[in-house]
Amino acid sequence: MKDDDFLEVRGGQLVDARGRAVPLRGYNIGGFLNMENFLTGFPSTESLQTDAMKRALGDERYALFFDRFVDAYFSDDDARYLAGLGMNHVRIPVNYRHFEDDDRPFDIQESGLARLDAVIATAERHGLYSIIDLHALPGCQNMDWHSNNPTHHAMFWRHRHFQDRVVHLWERFADRYKGRAAVAGYNIMNEPGDAGGLRIKPFYDRVVAAVRAIDPDHVIFLDGNRYGTEFTAFDSADPYPNTVYAVHDYKTPGMVFGGPYPGVTRGVYVDRAHIEQTFLERTAFMRRTGTPIWVGEFGPVFAGDPAREDDKYRMLSDQLDLYAAHGASWSLWAYKDIGGQGLVHAAADSPWMGRIGPVIEKKARLGVDSWATTDASIRHIMAPIEAVFAEEYPDFDPFPFGQKRWIQTLVRSIVLAEPMAGDYERCFRGVGDAEAVALADSFRYDRCVERRRLADLIAAKTGAKRA
């Protein structure tokens, strides 16, 4: 990749320096610089997981593990594999905690930047652009675990302090990566959850101006509100120059609780026509303004009912065909995990899966982690709570996804999940240096299992030739 291979927005497309259209095809490589419970198996939030492992391993052995884990999770083998499937970019989700401590705000850590440098360089060696995605922000920009939120309140929108820190962090990113063509652009914030809808545009105005003052060249990617699905906040103004508005496009049949496809999930009949209708609704702003469409996240979860796998592959195929028909770029979620969704995953007999097996079983039994489990085994808990709310608070419709999702977040992702950090800690007691390395190496590409059918489908859609 050459220094003049910068991407830019031109005429409703992403183009390279020679004016050639570059539709982005790629994968999110979440799970290491932003860790999520369903990807690597811990309960609750990344912070609770880190604290639990440090209590069990000690700071030095945890550092040994984590450094090895980062190297193992995305290496040259992984980048080469993705390029071989026709991918041309990776989206790199990052947690601000790798760059700044809460007790030392505005003090950006070189160690975190060096880790990010290494990932970008690995992708570049294999012809992959990188999009830096700030996935977890100080104060938490949305209500869920993937922003490392220990509550169900997005405090980022209420406190200028948190916003100042994010602007400062993006200024550092912009200064470090200006002139780096291997970086396709900056995804300022993953899945904003601004409940009032009045703060997101002023903040974007501010952070875009700050980045542009340092780096006028890179594309900026902006997720819509309500977790990347709503763009009404931008209707009253012209689009920012050289900017892509990013939509997320998960479908209910693809979720772990999903029903048949075509068919009914949670009272809604979903088929190809319905998928296209919701896609057109979510991308109306981009099509009206003539800006490129990038689906920053989408993809089915395969864990659960094996009988539904055919349906999920059929749905994914329809989505990819739809994106191609509308000239949309895309980035699947997520590349690597412990078996629920990833293109590759840690082997069932790996040291990692052996160590955390009791937690995985308990999470499934208690319905913890809404992305990887259902509440089928705890309906005796959930149903009475839902019934009380339906009767006593019939008009209660909390942002972003309503009453039942709000209850699920509180009970499953917080009340039942947080105490399980103790179970997770016990999994790592007695681990020595050699085993810590072996645990991290469970995520090496050559020790992972490929989801072959998924890889074949992706290669068929991109036209890549598989060995």
| Tens of pLDDT, residues 19-30 | 999 999 999 999
Burial label for 336, CB within 10 Å (0-12, 13-18, 19+), is: buried
pLDDT number for residue 18: 93
297 is catalytic: yes
- Is 467 within the bounds of a domain? no
Radius of gyration of the chain from Cα atoms?
A: 21
pLDDT number for residue 458: 98
Percent of the chain with pLDDT over 90: 96
Q: What is the pTM of this model?
A: 0.97
What is the DSSP code (8-state) at residue 158?
T
pLDDT number for residue 370: 87
- Is 328 within the bounds of a domain? yes
The sign one gets for the Cα dihedral 316, 318, 324, 329 is negative
Those residues with Cβ within 8 angstroms of residue 35's Cβ, 6 or more apart along the chain or in another chain: 42, 46, 49, 50, 95
Query: Which CATH number covers residue 115?
Result: 3.20.20.80
Q: Residues 163-173: what's their mean pLDDT?
A: 98
How far, CA to CA in Å, does 108 sit from each of 71, 95, 206, 220?
A: 21, 13, 20, 21
pLDDT at residue 306 is higher than 90: no
Spatial separation of the C-alpha atoms in residues 117 and 100, rounded to whole Å: 16
Residues 296, 248: contact at Cβ < 8 Å? yes
Residues 376-422: tens digit of each pLDDT? 999 999 999 999 999 999 999 999 999 999 999 999 999 999 999 99
For all residues of the chain together, what is the average pLDDT?
Answer: 97
Percent of the chain with pLDDT over 70: 99
pLDDT number for residue 4: 67
pLDDT number for residue 1: 66
Domain range spanning residue 391? 8-462
- Is 266 within the bounds of a domain? yes
Q: Which of 297, 309, 391, 418 is catalytic?
A: 297
- Is 2 within the bounds of a domain? no
- Is 189 within the bounds of a domain? yes
Q: Which of 8, 191, 230, 425 is catalytic?
A: 191
The pLDDT confidence band at residue 3, using thresholds 50, 70 and 90, is low
pLDDT number for residue 228: 98
b or e along 12-49 (b: 16 or more beta carbons within 10 Å of the residue's beta carbon)? ebbbbeeeeebbbbbbbbbbbbbbbbbbbbbbbbbbbb
Overall number of domains in the chain: 1
How far is residue 457 CA from its own chain's centroid? 21
Spatial separation of the C-alpha atoms in residues 423 and 244, rounded to whole Å: 42
Residues 312-344: tens digit of each pLDDT? 999 999 999 999 999 999 999 999 999 999 999
Q: Residues 440-454: what's their mean pLDDT?
A: 98
Residues 222-277: tens digit of each pLDDT? 999 999 999 999 998 999 999 999 999 999 999 999 999 999 999 999 999 999 99
CA atoms within 13 A on the CB side of 248: 21
Burial label for 382, CB within 10 Å (0-12, 13-18, 19+), is: middle
Among left, alpha and beta (phi > 0; psi -120 to 50; other), residue 250 is: beta
pLDDT number for residue 437: 98
Spatial separation of the C-alpha atoms in residues 207 and 213, rounded to whole Å: 10
Q: Residues 100-113: what's their mean pLDDT?
A: 97
Spatial separation of the C-alpha atoms in residues 328 and 196, rounded to whole Å: 29
Residues 367, 377: contact at Cβ < 8 Å? yes
- Is 145 within the bounds of a domain? yes
CA-nearest of 375, 364, 339 to 450 is 339
The sign one gets for the Cα dihedral 223, 229, 234, 239 is positive
Residues 428-445: tens digit of each pLDDT? 999 999 999 999 999 999
191 is catalytic: yes
Spatial separation of the C-alpha atoms in residues 232 and 219, rounded to whole Å: 21
Those residues with Cβ within 8 angstroms of residue 459's Cβ, 6 or more apart along the chain or in another chain: 85, 86, 465, 466
pLDDT at residue 363 is higher than 70: yes
- Is 297 within the bounds of a domain? yes
- Is 1 within the bounds of a domain? no
Structure tokens at 287: 């099509």
How far is residue 414 CA from its own chain's centroid? 20
pLDDT at residue 375 is higher than 80: yes
Residues 40-99: tens digit of each pLDDT? 999 999 999 999 999 999 999 999 999 999 999 999 999 999 999 999 999 999 999 999
